[in-house]
Every structure is written in C-alpha cells, then in structure tokens.
Amino acid sequence: MRADAHFCKQCGQPVAAAPDEIDTRSFCPRCGAAVRSNARFCARCRTPLVAPHEWVTGPPCPTCGTPTRPGARFCRICSHPLQPASLPPGSAQPSRQAGRFGTGTLLPLTVLAGRYAIVEKIAQGGMGAIYKAQDHRLQGRIVAVKEMSETAITPSERRRVLESFQREAELLARLEHPNLVRVTDRFQEGERQYMVMEFIEGQTLEKMLEGRAEPFPEAQVLTWSGQLCDVLSYLHSQDPRIIYRDVKPANVMAVSGTDVVKLIDFGIARFFKPGKGRDTIEFGTDGYAPPEQYGKAQTDERADIYALGVTLHRLLTLRDPATRLFQFPPVCSLNPHVSPGVEAAIAQAVENNKNERHQSMEEMKTALLGGGPQTRRAFPTKGKPTKPTRPSTALPSGSGQPVPISATIDFGTVLVGSDVPARSLSVAIPAGEQATLSTDASWLYIHPRDVGDGNNQAIVTLDTRRLKPGRLSLAGTWLKTWAGWHTRFLVPLAQEQHGHVEMQLKSGPHQYTLVSATAVPQRWQVYAGWIGTGLAMLIEAAIVLALVVAIVGS
C-alpha cells in the first residue's frame, strides 16, 4: 500500500492517516471514516458533510424552480433549457438554432404559470403541441394547453405565426357556443406562447376516417352537419363576420360517447372586410378550399359553405377531395344509400361559382335537413361572376343534373394478385355524339377511352395487384390493445373498394357508373402479418424485461 494512499485497494476501506496528519475536519460525523477536507459527502455512508445552504449553486430553473449548477445548460429535474441568467457571468451564450428547442418537450408534472401541471402530451405538430394538464387553482380541473415555440419558426414567418396564434386566442376567448372550444387563459414563458382551452375527450373526424372501409351512415353525418351549420352560422353572424376558412375533418372533434362535434383550430379564421378585393394572405387546405381562396377574390361565408360541402362529401363517400381539385362525382355514384335530397344539397354547396352555392348556412341546413323555404341571401357582385382558377366540373348551361346511374359493375370478392375476368360496359350515347371515358381508381383500366360513332361498348379491367386490403384493428383487453398496435400495420384484412367510371360527352351531361370490388388478401400475407405481430410483441416484451432487470439490479 502506498504511503499516501487514502483507501485500501483490496477492501476499499478508508486508510487512517498518521496522528500528526489527522485534522478534526477530516472525519465523517456519522461513521467516523476519514474523508478529504474538501469532501461534500462521506465515501462510506454518503452523509452530507456540508450544509445545503453552503453548497455552490446557480440561479433556480425558471420552469420548475430547482437550484441549478453553475454553467448548467439544462435543468436536472424538468430537462428544460435554462435561461441566459442561469449561466455563469462572462460565459458565452449557446447558439439557438431554429427548431432546436421546439415544442413538445414538456415532461409530466411540469408546472406552467404556477397553476397548470402537465399530465401528458396529446398531439405534436410542426410548430406546436397540445398537452393535457390539471389546473391547480380550480380543484385539479383537466384542461388542454396549446404550446407554440418561437424558436421553432424561421424569422421570416415568426410575425405571421404569432399573429395567427394570438388571433385564435382572442377569437375563442370572446366566443361562446356549445360547438366551440372555450379558451380560458393565455400566457407566455420564455420563447413559448401558451393557450389554455377546454379539454375535449374524443377524436377528430379525420382520425375516425383512417382505415375506415365504409362511409359513415347518412343519419350520423346529418346529425354532425346540423351542428356544424349552427356553429358556422353563429360565426357568420358576428360583427364583424368571422370566416372560418378551414373546415375539414381534421378540424372537427367528435366528443366521445356523444353525437356532439366541436370546431377546433381557429388559426386562420379572419374577419370579413366589406369592400376588400381579395385576401391579404392565402390559406386553406387543398381539396377543401374553394377557388376564390386561391387569391382571386376575398373569401366570405360561402367559402365555409364550400368547405363544409366537401367535408360532408368525404364523410359519405370516403373519397379524398385532393385527388382531383374542384371535381366531385355525385355522392350517390359512390354511395347509393344516400338520399337524393342530401346529394343535391352537397352538389350545390361544392359549386365552383360561389354565386351558385347556398348563400347562407341557414339555407344549407334547410337543404340538408329539410324545413320551410328560406329566402336566398343576395350577394353584391361586380361585373361577371368570378371564374375558378382551376379546371371545373360545372355542367354546361341548360344540361341539368348529372345523368343518374344506369348500371353498376361489381367484381365481387377478389383475391389480391389473382386474375379476374374483364367486364363489358355499355354506354348510352346519342347518334352522332362521341364521349370520353375516365376513372379515378388506380386499379381500373378502360379500353377504349373514346367511344361513339356506333361503338358504345368499353372493356373495364381490374388490376388486382393495385388493390389495397384493409388492416385488422383490435380493441378490448390490454393484450388485444397491445396486439392491435401491430396488426393495424401488419395484418391485412378484406376491404371493399369503390371507384367510378365517368363518361363525358362533348356536348351534354356527365354519366357515372359505380365500380366496386372486395379485396381479400392472400393467405400467406395474413400468416406473415400474424408472425410479424408475434415477433414484434416478443421483442418488445424482452426489451421491457431487460430494462426491469437492469433497474432492479442497479
């Protein structure tokens, strides 16, 4: 053993110093072991040797109040980046790149504004996040906290996004309607903006559409549409009028266990300004935004009517409106169970010319749900009606409604990857006319495309390799729920597919023929999916078991 050794290399016990080298300050007051004179803890029993108030600490964390170590860049409790005041004097400020300290990093039990304790993160987006939290000042009431970080935004977009966030908070704070979320508070901490809202337990309609094989029942959609017409009518009746401008399934929340829906996300809502030629900023979602929202004119309440019509069209047909902008086949051509009155109301709502749509939400609600006649609201126009900026599906003047479906083609149950006999389609074309056939389904082929002049037959071929079967979704016990996380990605399931063949005459109305097939996966695909699910669950269970053993062992 070395002469200056402090511990034995065999047993690890402290080595007592010579009597003339012992200082009374070098012994642990609890176990009597020899310690270094500048030690803060005993090496044997871990007893603190310095009073807590004598420890050298930096300023407290601005988020949770925990004392920090001088020079620390992150809090050891909540992991939040420390403010510049927490750095030692004279030290260089760390560079903060855009998005480096973005949103969605709050940990459970983090307290905001001294009252909102974070429970869990609900959603994460590109520029914001939403948390479930408890309000300590109101007996632990559950609220939703919407977070937006300025550091996650480029300097050129910062002003616009901040104005949008503040406008959303101000709008919702002064509005009160059963189909709107309530905003109760707004504050800022560091470079993050926060908005406290009513917590809604439920799912968006966009989430409910994911993996769905059949359209929603008409009765359910009409129940939702009545509420959406009411809340949008309430917004349009404000002074000045509020135009929502982004009606779509992702912005409609269905409350769990009820038929109630609520409109969420007012980030791009705006006030209507009479006399203004066009919108200052173009916003909206492709497929749901009307032609005038692409910068050719100022949007009014008829933009919300168009977007609501597109939303109802998708709920009743499952057709994504972004596949063909401004083109909507009749609802009954994709879903024969929809009543003609509802089909006609939706067709009028999605007219490209806003002067041909319903002129108010009350009028649209009456057309959808029935009721007494209402006077159409007249909108002043200057000169000719606004023309759509993209190709239109509007029928020629005097052509009337689209020709009703005369026949349907049902391929029945089809095995993915198998050979299926082609079907013959007979189209009714007046003498001397010609027509062009097309389809919006990637798994359908039509030959020939041009018919007429005595040839009124076309061959419809099904490419089964392009059919996409559904995915198995499990729910119930914790084991089924766990397995369901994997089966929805791995285990294929039979699913009905819908498409349509469109016939367009050179002079005359369109005609649509519904084409359907039930895609059934190959047996080996199902077996492979279940094997993959079992392996994934075994790997996850092994990882969890290893972590538990490591934690217990440590």
* Interval 95-110: pLDDT, tens: 333 333 456 778 888 8
Boundary of a domain, candidates 316, 349, 369: 369
Do 174 and 211 fall within a single domain?
A: no
Count of residues in the chain: 554
Boundary of a domain, candidates 31, 55, 79: 55
The pLDDT value recorded for residue 83 is 53
Residues 254 and 204: their CA atoms lie apart, in Å, by: 6
Do 230 and 356 fall within a single domain?
A: yes
Domain holding 149, by residue range, is 111-198
* Identity of the amino acid at 79: S
Do 365 and 305 fall within a single domain?
A: yes
Residues 183 and 198: their CA atoms lie apart, in Å, by: 6
Residues 425-429 have a mean pLDDT of: 73
Long-range contacts of 532-538 (CB under 8 A, 24+ apart): 532/486, 532/490, 533/483, 533/486, 533/487, 533/490, 533/491, 536/486, 536/490, 537/482, 537/483, 537/486
Containing 426, the helix (H) or strand (E) segment is: strand 423-426
Answer whether residue 125 shows pLDDT above 70: no
φ, ψ at 514 (rounded to 5°): -75, 135
Do 146 and 218 fall within a single domain?
A: no
Containing 165, the helix (H) or strand (E) segment is: helix 155-174
Buried b (16+ CB within 10 A) or exposed e, 245-267: bbbbbbbbbbeeeeebbbbbbbb
The pLDDT value recorded for residue 399 is 34
Taking all residues of the chain, what is their mean pLDDT, rounded to a whole number? 76
Bridge partners of 434?
452
Percent of the chain with pLDDT over 90: 26
Q: Work out the pLDDT band at 316, boundaries 50, 70, 90.
A: very high
Domain with 162 in it: what CATH number? Answer: 3.30.200.20
* Interval 254-288: pLDDT, tens: 999 899 999 987 765 454 434 444 444 446 688 89
Do 134 and 267 fall within a single domain?
A: no
Do 480 and 513 fall within a single domain?
A: yes
Boundary of a domain, candidates 39, 55, 71: 55
Asked if residue 397 is part of any domain, the answer here is: no
Asked if residue 97 is part of any domain, the answer here is: no
Q: Work out the pLDDT band at 405, boundaries 50, 70, 90.
A: very low
Residues 352 and 236: their CA atoms lie apart, in Å, by: 21
Q: Are 247 and 233 in contact (CB under 8 A)?
A: no
Residue 210: CB atoms within 10 Å: 12
pLDDT: is 512 or 319 the higher one?
319
Helix (H, G, I), strand (E, B) or coil at 519: strand
Q: Report how many domains make up the chain.
A: 4
Do 32 and 165 fall within a single domain?
A: no
The pLDDT value recorded for residue 15 is 64
Answer whether residue 533 shows pLDDT above 50: yes
* Interval 210-241: pLDDT, tens: 878 899 999 999 999 999 999 999 999 987 78
Asked if residue 433 is part of any domain, the answer here is: yes
Bridge partners of 32?
none
Give the closest residue to 136 by CA, choosing from 124, 160, 118, 162: 118
Going edge to edge, which strands form the sheet with 252-255? Answer: 202-204, 252-255, 261-263
Asked if residue 181 is part of any domain, the answer here is: yes
Asked if residue 98 is part of any domain, the answer here is: no
DSSP 118-156: EEEEEEE-SSEEEEEEEEGGGTTEEEEEEEEEGGGS-HH
- The DSSP output letter for 44 is T
Residues 6+ apart with CB under 8 A from 254: 202, 203, 204, 205, 208, 224, 260, 261
Do 189 and 214 fall within a single domain?
A: no
Containing 438, the helix (H) or strand (E) segment is: strand 434-439
Q: Which two tokens stand for residue 43?
A: 């090496």
Do 150 and 163 fall within a single domain?
A: yes
Do 219 and 362 fall within a single domain?
A: yes
Q: Work out the pLDDT band at 425, boundaries 50, 70, 90.
A: confident
Residues 304 and 392: their CA atoms lie apart, in Å, by: 19
Domain with 258 in it: what CATH number? Answer: 1.10.510.10
Asked if residue 173 is part of any domain, the answer here is: yes
Asked if residue 92 is part of any domain, the answer here is: no
Residues 267 and 489: their CA atoms lie apart, in Å, by: 32
Asked if residue 282 is part of any domain, the answer here is: yes
Do 362 and 431 fall within a single domain?
A: no
Do 163 and 279 fall within a single domain?
A: no
